[in-house]
Amino acid sequence: MSVKTVHDPALERDTRDLYEALTDLVRVYQFRDRNLICCHDISVTQCYALDALVRGGPMTLGSLAQTLMLDKSTTSRVAETLERKGYLKRTTHPSDARAVQLSPTSRGRSLHETIQRTLLDEERGIIESLPADVRRATVGVVRELAKVAAKRMGRADACCQPAAEK
């Protein structure tokens, strides 16, 4: 069944403008993250994995893969590297002896805190000149865009809640 779309020039313009704005923002953040995170002995992907485990609590490899929106084999390699570096540990899952549970070590939590502090200091510098209402509205819009995009990708369960709600 095909959906008939109505041509709306304003929607077309807004779509293009949003795409360009998000592309610019993502590009800036990718380079920023790579430059700030990689000097801490881990890759950006490893940092995302460590962040997911610190914020989300212990989880299985499958759950971590789903959270990171990566396949299991890639997530497994990421976890192996974090474990080898002493930032992650594997234990038997408490409710399923056949499963492995991943969790950050104290060294991993400490590294996460250091990286988080660096990124939050950078973030503060970016938004400090904006009025408080604009900052809050921006957070809401970006969070909503992430939810809608994740839902359209079939990954709504993988993201997008504020840390206090997780």
Q: What CATH number did the domain enclosing 103 receive?
A: 1.10.10.10
Q: What is the pLDDT of residue 10?
A: 93
| Structure confidence at residue 166 (pLDDT) | 45
Q: Rounded mean pLDDT of 69-93? A: 95
Lowest mean pLDDT among 14-28, 32-46, 129-143: 32-46
Say if 136 falls within a structural domain.
Answer: no
Query: SS3 breakdown of the chain: % helix, strand, coil, rounded to 5?
Result: 70, 10, 20
Please state the pTM of the whole predicted model.
Answer: 0.78
Q: In this structure, are residues 32 and 73 in contact, taking their beta carbons and an 8 Å threshold?
A: no
Structural domain contains residue 142: no
- When pLDDT is cut at 50, 70 and 90, the band that residue 163 belongs to is low
Amino acid at residue number 165: E
Give the residue numbers spanning the domain of 51: 9-129
The answer as to whether 134 is a domain residue is no
Kindly state whether residue 4 falls inside one of the protein's structural domains: no
> What is the Cα–Cα distance from 50 to 163, expressed in whole angstroms?
15
Angle between helices 72-84 and 44-56 (to 10 degrees): 90
Average pLDDT, the chain: 88
More confident residue, 33 or 40: 40
Running DSSP on this structure, what letter comes out for residue 165?
A: G
Confidence of residue 87 (pLDDT cuts 50, 70, 90): very high
Cα separations (Å) of 48 from 21, 37, 136?
23, 10, 24
How many domains does the chain contain in total? Answer: 1
